[in-house]
Each structure stands twice: as C-alpha cells, then as structure tokens.
C-alpha cells in the first residue's frame, strides 16, 4: 500500500517534467508559434518614380538576389513575394525618376537611381513596404507598415 | 499584482536566454561546408571509446534545443540569417557471447546536423541557405575476451539532405569504410575512401579501468590515455596530426585533457573535467579552445558545461564549438541520454568505473524463485538505482 502511494506520488511529480520533455521534443514548433521563417514582402509605390525591382545585395556588393521582380509604376502595388530573408540584410531598390517636363521629339528624359539600405532587419512574416518621394530632396522615402 | 509577479517571473526566466543570445555569434558557411569530415571523425572517436571493452552494449540519443532563432544565426555573404544550427544523434551497440570468450556485436551510429530556418525534427524547412547533412556509421564487432582482442569494421555513409547554393559543391552521397583493431589497452583505427586513407587514430588507453577488469585505485589508474590522430589533408592541404593526452588527476573523478596540433605545433584545446562519480553520468567541465582567428588573446575561447544524465548545458564549451559549427556566445542545451553497459553494470561513455548499484537489496526483497532472479536483476537495476537514491534522502 505504501509502495503504491509512493508510486502515485512519484508519477504525479514526474508528470511536469514528462510534459516539459514532450514539449521540448517539438523544438522548432515552440518557437514557430511566434517566429516566421520566411518574409512575405509587398511594395506599394506612392512616389512619382517607377520602381524597377527590389533585391538583396551581398555585403561586398558582388552578388544580388532578386526579391520583388515586378516593375511598379507610380500608384501601383507589387505582388507578394515570399522569400527566405529572415535576419539582417542589405536591401537594394532600383528606381527610374522622370526628369521634369518631357523633352523634344516626344522623348521622355529620365534618370535611373540605385539605393542600398544597409543592415535592414526582417523578423519574418508579412511586411508591407510603402515607397514615397523623399521630402528632404531627391530620393525615396521608405516606410514599413 | 499577481499579474505583475507573473510577468516578473517570466522575465527572470527569460533573462539567461536573453543574455545568452544577445552576444551570440553567427555560425559560418565555411564551418558548415566542412562539417561532414568532423562528423565522421567524431563518430569513430566515440566508437573507439565504446569498444574499449569490445563487448556489452551502448545506447545514445540526443538533440540540441535552442528556443531562439537568434542564438545560432548563419553568417553568409548577404548578411545574418535567423535560424538554428542543430544536431540530432543516436547510437547503439550490442554484443553477445556466441561461444565461450567469443563475442559478436553490431553497432550503428547516426547523426543528422546542419543549419536550417527551423529545427523541427521531422519537418525540415530546407530554405535557400540551409545545409543539412547526415552521417551513418555501421559495423560488426568481434571480440576474443580471453586474449582481450577486438576487431571491428564497417562502412560510413555521408549524405547531403539539402544544401543551399551559397555552399561549395559537395558530393551528395559519399561512402567510406572503417576498421578498428584493439589489443588490450592499445587500439588502431582507420578510415578509408576507396583506396585512399582519410584518417588513422592510434590510441594507448593505459589508464586502468575497473569496468574492463582493471583497478579501482592505485598508481595504475593514473596512467595517461594518449591518442594520436592523423588526418589526410588531400591535395590542397598538408596531412595533420592531433595529439590528445587525457590524464586522471584525482581518484578518477578529476581529469585533465590537452590536445595539440602538428605540424603547426599549436595548442588546440584543454579541458578540466570533474565527475562526482567515476561512472561519468554527471559531469562538469571547463574548457579552453584555440579558435585560429589570429588575434592574440581573442584566439582563446573559454567555456564550460554541465552534463546531467538527461540534459547538457554548455556555454562556449569546446565540445559544442567543435560539433555545432563553431557556435559560441550562447547557452546551448542538449536533451540527451547516453549509457554504456558491460556485464550488467552501467556507466557513461569512457568511464572507468560503473555506477554504484544496490543489487543485494533487490535479492533480499524478492524472495520467490531466487534462481531466475539473475536475469531480472539486470533489467531492474536501473529502477533500483533511482529508488535507492530517494530512500537515502528520506533517512
């Protein structure tokens, strides 16, 4: 009888560690509740320029991986692209700026710009990036919403 | 108020994790790319330890547990990727006596490790930057216990499960063969790829170990365990040699271990290990490792680990640094179980003595059919061991 009580006591005591161990075997599952392992990016262009593409560029600038493959005209939104960029990376935006009034012969003048935002942190999950004209002068203003 | 206390408790619990991950360093693409060779070598080293007796059995199971994605991020040319360096391993060895003094056994070692965006055991993430590799070692063991002679041999399979395109090209399926010969305290181990040798390990385990019929105390237990491992550098590198000296310092409870690399004549690592019981089920270790980063004192990595039978906690320890792709600066937990047995006695891998067991008490309690008890004692000893410990606490 005493032995049985002891066993019961031990099993109740053991319940918590056993449950904890069960939870541990799920490892990644636990963190998956609050961590995403991919980033889904959508970009809205509220600037007057055309966005030609958004990529991740390596730290030494030697290699590039495209992320947003769409050309986004002013006032338009890109499609959503899901990529494995979770962490800290350099983002590159290529944009085409119209140069004032249209030139002669019906040809339009423009200037291509390339912007690199260094050490941008992506925590995974859904990201909505709004690109607008910079109020401080020529260039783009970026805001994650 | 209660809510506040609860929040405080959660914060206090999370503090070591936060501290542990705040200074975490990323694992490198290079370390992951060269992981296969060290995985194979580590398995052969463990097999050497387990085959010191050449008979009995061994069971090992374990996986690393890291709750935060920032603990072992990956450093690539693009930046730092959140994710997990992980390691799942299991091993088993069992031998039986087929004739008097002749034992036949089979062993199987398996390890799966790498870096991935998630560390699910069953459902890997396999993203663009993952590298997941597995190594399986199997072999047959023959032991002549009267001559204290063991011969073992088998194959090693190295398979790439998934590798992102940021890593150098690697053969996705490599086959190696291995052989192990032990006579008394000396053993030689070789690993081969086709007709080419990969590594040779010569071990002189001179220390007298009670589990294999040696002494429990006295000067013979203070003899060193020396290991010389030769590695084939291939076409690009010179062959290298690593010499490891393990020394019993106090009563087979405190050990010192130093290893040096040649021909560079450089210090590789040192460890001071304390086992409260010589059966090595629980251990505490302090380690120092040279990182080859060539910046003076920053070269040395100081760390430590606590090894409890089911759990291992380590910070900058050389064992984790070598096996988890040079992960450092973070607290690494491993859920594990590992136990070796010989003649019904239980001990940790590499231990000189078995765990104290209370088989006598068990015999007294179960009075009925004492003859068939012999077979049962082996199975029940583990249970008795735990119970005996709790009884002792009540007194």
Can you tell me the distance from the alpha carbon of A129 to that of B169, in angstroms, rounded to the nearest whole number?
36
Find chain B residues with C-beta within 8 A of A38's C-beta. Answer: 117, 127
Can you tell me the distance from the alpha carbon of B84 to that of B173, in angstroms, rounded to the nearest whole number?
24
A113 DSSP β-pair partners: A95
| pLDDT computed for residue B67 by the predictor | 78
| Residue to test with chain B: of A29, A56, A82, A87, most B Cβ within 10 A | A87
Same domain assignment for residues A72 and A140: yes
pLDDT in tens, B293-331: 666 666 888 999 999 988 999 998 989 888 888 888 888
Question: How many Cβ atoms are within 10 Å of B379's Cβ, its own excluded?
Answer: 9
Same domain assignment for residues A129 and A99: yes
| Residue to test with chain A: of B79, B128, B333, most A Cβ within 10 A | B79
Same domain assignment for residues B349 and B361: no
Q: Which residue of B has its CA nearest to A3?
A: B387
Same domain assignment for residues A72 and A110: yes
Residue B15 lies in a domain: no
Q: Which domain holds residue B257?
A: 23-356
| pLDDT computed for residue B355 by the predictor | 84
| pLDDT computed for residue A30 by the predictor | 58
Q: Note whether A89 contacts B121, CB cutoff 8 Å.
A: no
Contact present, B375 and B307 (Cβ < 8 Å): no
* Model confidence at B369: pLDDT above 70: no
* Model confidence at B285: pLDDT above 70: yes
Query: For chain A, what is the largest distance between any 2 Cα atoms, rounded to a whole number of angstroms?
Result: 104
Contact present, B357 and B381 (Cβ < 8 Å): yes
Measured in angstroms, the CA of A6 and the nearest CA of chain B are apart by: 10
What's the CA dihedral at B143, B145, B147, B149 to 10 degrees?
30
Residue position matching structure tokens 């970026």: A142
Q: Give B373's DSSP letter.
A: H
Partner B contacted by A125 (CB < 8 A): no
Q: Note whether A124 contacts B82, CB cutoff 8 Å.
A: yes
| pLDDT computed for residue B9 by the predictor | 57
Same domain assignment for residues A108 and A47: yes
Domain count, chain B: 2
| pLDDT computed for residue A26 by the predictor | 59
Same domain assignment for residues B71 and B97: yes
Of A63, A65, A86, the CB nearest to B81: A86
Q: Which two tokens stand for residue A140?
A: 């783009």
ipTM associated with this complex: 0.78
Q: Which of A66-80, A97-111, B68-82 has the lowest mean pLDDT?
A: A97-111
Same domain assignment for residues B219 and B352: yes
Same domain assignment for residues B56 and B185: yes
* Model confidence at B393: pLDDT above 50: no
Same domain assignment for residues A70 and A102: yes
Same domain assignment for residues B308 and B273: yes
Same domain assignment for residues A113 and A47: yes
Partner B contacted by A62 (CB < 8 A): yes
Q: Which two tokens stand for residue A51?
A: 């966005």
pLDDT in tens, B237-283: 888 999 999 999 998 999 999 999 888 888 899 999 999 999 898 99
Q: Which two tokens stand for residue A113?
A: 């710009």
Mean pLDDT of B381-392: 44
Same domain assignment for residues B270 and B367: no
pLDDT in tens, B188-207: 999 999 889 999 999 999 99
Same domain assignment for residues B39 and B145: yes
Q: Note whether A37 contacts B125, CB cutoff 8 Å.
A: yes
Of B65, B73, B118, the CB nearest to A37: B118
* Model confidence at B176: pLDDT above 90: yes
Same domain assignment for residues A66 and A13: no
pLDDT in tens, B108-162: 999 999 998 887 777 788 888 999 999 999 999 999 989 999 999 999 999 998 8
pLDDT band at residue A104 using 50, 70 and 90 as cut-offs:
low
Q: Which pTM was predicted?
A: 0.80
Partner A contacted by B82 (CB < 8 A): yes
Can you tell me the distance from the alpha carbon of A23 to that of A6, in angstroms, rounded to the nearest whole number?
26
| E strands present in chain B | 27-28, 57-65, 74-76, 79-81, 84-99, 102-116, 131-144, 149-163, 173-183, 186-193, 196-205, 225-231, 240-250, 254-262, 266-274, 283-290, 300-308, 311-315, 331-342, 345-347
Same domain assignment for residues A28 and A53: no
Same domain assignment for residues A48 and A103: yes
Can you tell me the distance from the alpha carbon of B269 to that of B264, in angstroms, rounded to the nearest whole number?
14
Contact present, B252 and B269 (Cβ < 8 Å): no
Of B77, B80, B84, the CB nearest to A63: B77
Question: Could you report how far apart the first and last alpha carbons of chain A are, in Å?
Answer: 65
Q: Note whether A88 contacts B117, CB cutoff 8 Å.
A: no
Same domain assignment for residues A80 and A48: yes
Same domain assignment for residues B277 and B369: no
**CATH number of the domain that residue A63 is part of:** 2.60.40
pLDDT band at residue A113 using 50, 70 and 90 as cut-offs:
confident
Q: Which domain holds residue A28?
A: 2-32
How far out from the chain centre does Cα B177 lie?
21
Closest C-alpha among A38, A55, A32 to residue A124? A38
Q: Note whether B127 contacts A38, CB cutoff 8 Å.
A: yes
Distances (CA, A) of B228 to B40, B205, B243, B244, B260: 17, 11, 5, 7, 10
Q: Which two tokens stand for residue B221?
A: 């237990």
Partner A contacted by B79 (CB < 8 A): yes
Residue B90 lies in a domain: yes
Same domain assignment for residues A89 and A117: yes
Q: Note whether B67 contacts A31, CB cutoff 8 Å.
A: yes
Domain count, chain A: 2
Same domain assignment for residues B178 and B319: yes
Same domain assignment for residues B211 and B314: yes
B196 DSSP β-pair partners: B193
Higher pLDDT among residues A55 and B379, named by residue:
A55
Same domain assignment for residues A26 and A70: no
Of A56, A87, A90, the CB nearest to B73: A87
């Amino acid at each position: 009888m005493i032995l049985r009580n002891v066993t019961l006591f031990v099993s109740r005591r053991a319940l918590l560690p056993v449950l904890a161990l069960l939870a541990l075997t799920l490892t990644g599952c636990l963190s998956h509740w609050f961590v995403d392992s991919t980033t889904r990016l959508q970009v809205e262009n509220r600037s007057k320029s055309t966005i030609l593409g958004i990529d991740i560029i390596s730290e030494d600038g030697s290699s590039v991986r495209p992320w947003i493959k769409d050309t986004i005209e002013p006032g338009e939104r890109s499609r959503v692209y899901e990529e494995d960029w979770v962490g800290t990376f350099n983002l590159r935006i290529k944009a085409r700026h119209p140069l004032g009034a249209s030139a002669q012969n019906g040809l339009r003048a423009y200037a291509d710009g390339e912007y690199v935002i260094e050490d941008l942190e992506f925590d995974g999950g859904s990201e909505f990036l709004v690109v607008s004209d910079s109020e401080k002068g020529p260039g783009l203003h970026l805001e994650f919403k | 108020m209660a809510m506040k206390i609860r929040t405080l408790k959660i914060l206090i619990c999370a503090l070591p994790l936060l501290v542990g991950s705040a200074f975490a360093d990323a694992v490198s693409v290079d370390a992951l790319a060269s992981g296969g060779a060290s995985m194979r070598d580590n398995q052969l080293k463990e097999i050497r330890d387990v085959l010191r007796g050449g008979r009995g059995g061994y069971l090992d199971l374990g996986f690393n547990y890291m709750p935060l994605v920032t603990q072992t991020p990956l450093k690539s040319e693009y930046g730092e990727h959140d994710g997990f360096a992980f390691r799942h391993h299991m091993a088993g060895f069992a031998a039986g006596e087929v004739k008097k003094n002749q034992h036949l056994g089979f062993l199987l070692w398996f390890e799966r490790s790498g870096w991935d965006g998630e560390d699910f055991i069953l459902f890997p993430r396999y993203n663009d930057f993952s590298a997941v590799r597995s190594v399986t070692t199997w072999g047959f063991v023959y032991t002549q216990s009267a001559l204290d002679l063991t011969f073992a041999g088998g194959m090693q399979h190295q398979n790439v499960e998934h590798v992102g395109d940021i890593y150098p090209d690697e053969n996705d399926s490599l086959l190696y063969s291995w052989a192990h010969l032990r006579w008394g305290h000396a053993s030689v181990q070789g690993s081969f790829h086709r007709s080419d040798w990969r590594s040779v390990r010569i071990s002189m385990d001179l220390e007298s170990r009670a589990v294999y019929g040696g002494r429990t105390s006295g000067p013979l237990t203070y003899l060193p365990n020396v290991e010389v491992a030769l590695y084939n550098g291939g076409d690009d590198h010179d062959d290298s040699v690593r010499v490891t000296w393990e020394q019993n310092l106090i009563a087979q409870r405190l050990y010192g271990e130093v290893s040096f690399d040649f021909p560079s004549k450089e210090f590789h690592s040192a460890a001071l290990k304390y086992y409260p019981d010589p059966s090595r089920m629980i251990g505490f270790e302090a380690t120092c490792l040279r990182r080859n980063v060539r910046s003076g004192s920053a070269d040395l990595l100081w760390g430590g680990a606590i090894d409890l039978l089911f759990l291992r906690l380590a910070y900058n320890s050389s064992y984790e640094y070598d096996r988890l792709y040079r992960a450092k600066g973070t607290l690494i937990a491993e859920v594990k179980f590992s136990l070796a047995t010989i003649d019904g006695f239980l001990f940790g891998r590499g231990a000189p003595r078995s765990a104290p067991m209370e088989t006598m008490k068990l015999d007294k309690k179960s009075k009925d059919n004492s003859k068939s008890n012999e077979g049962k004692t082996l199975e029940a000893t583990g249970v008795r061991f735990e119970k005996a410990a709790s009884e002792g606490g009540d007194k």
